[in-house]
Structure 1
């Protein structure tokens, strides 16, 4: 019962043609449809639902909403009651608000980010099918991302005023939405400030993450690759396509993920994330990173922070 996994992300882009080329040629996604409003829907080859990314035309970049799929239709009603009881208002959007998608429970996290939950989206199958499938399709392009893996949301954090939307989001996500905490960064006197958290509903190290900053926004959406060789190939693809790379291939201490960060043409940060990291389970002890080891937590190889990584987001 409850949330199964990430379902899709909806991003604002300023040049739709350039954005579509990026997600098709660099990530390897496929455009599945375009609606009458000019929104474009895409999916990765190893995803079975109709779409996992919505691009909407805008004059600024950023996140419209992130959506998670629940197991049963009744979960939407039960979660609506729990969210309302927590003090957060909700709206039940009717079936068809998004193409090929059932009704959606819409609300804002304490940080202000819009989240939607849904139980139904049209299943179109993976590109290799589910009867005697090959391990990968013949027409794979670019990095060949398997699926949309997670998102990281920037949340307002100001110790001087006592505002900590990271902690508020984490409390809400664990107590109401059923996520469990896998890792955290604590800073300040005696580690009293929860500055970043990674949470899961599946068995991967994180299905969503919250990190503190001066304002709310989107840090990145991430796409899954098999392993380190695929990360290096992805970097080659980015170089060939003149993509702006933020952080070259490396490893995280946090989540143990192998990674590369880069930007779409509008400035929305993407990540290709590889490797299992570890088997996340609700009873696995939470990993805590302290302030003096934050550099190694984020970039394990160098142990040094990259200013753009923490200061630039949409």
Structure 2
């Protein structure tokens, strides 16, 4: 049987794609690839991808999505972690988030993997996002 090689895309439910897309484009430097709206169902989807094309994030707005905030304690998504190559790049992300006025927790040792550091922040819907650096050799 063939093995999985990577995550192709991640789909996140948001309350308003028109609010979320500019945030993801500006803060995470993702590029808008496609946008689709189904007039029959009211479903809206926007595919964003990393500049290198290595991964995609799909923002989905369902017509009946309430304004209830994200809660990682509910069954489903807990958080999304994006990887950088070095701890120095993690510091660059702290500067970037501060520049864009994004509230974040400064790089701290991971409680999951010794030697890793993580910066934690949230998107406009409160979805927890992280920038992660693995241990350096």
Match of 1:254 among 96, 107, 112: 112
Q: Is the 8 A contact 1:263 1:270 kept in 2?
A: yes
Q: Distance in 2 between the 1:17 and 1:230 partners?
A: 29
Q: Is the 8 A contact 1:15 1:265 kept in 2?
A: no
- Output the TM-score relative to the length of structure 1: 0.36
Match of 1:219 in 2: 78
Note the 1:275-294 alignment, pairs <5 A: 275=134, 277=135
Higher RCO structure, 1 or 2 (CA under 8 Å, sep 6+) = 2
Q: Is the 8 A contact 1:259 1:271 kept in 2?
A: yes
Note the 1:1-314 alignment, pairs <5 A: 1-37=2-38, 38-48=44-54, 52-57=56-61, 58-59=65-66, 60=68, 215-245=74-104, 247-255=105-113, 256-275=115-134, 277=135
Deviation of the 1:217 alpha carbon: 3.1
Q: Distance in 2 between the 1:56 and 1:221 partners?
A: 16
Q: Distance in 1 between the 2:80 and 2:23 partners?
A: 14
Structure with higher Rg: it is 1
Segments of structure 1 that go 5 or more residues without pairing to the other structure are: 63-153, 155-212, 279-314
Residue 61 to residue 7, structure 1, CA distance change in 2 (3 Å): farther
Q: Distance in 1 between the 2:96 and 2:19 partners?
A: 16
Deviation of the 1:252 alpha carbon: 1.3
SS of corresponding position for 2:32: strand
Residue 47 to residue 220, structure 1, CA distance change in 2 (3 Å): same
Number of residue-to-residue matches in the alignment? 125
Q: Distance in 1 between the 2:96 and 2:18 partners?
A: 19
Segments of structure 2 that go 5 or more residues without pairing to the other structure are: 39-43
- Output the TM-score relative to the length of structure 2: 0.77
Q: Is the 8 A contact 1:44 1:52 kept in 2?
A: yes
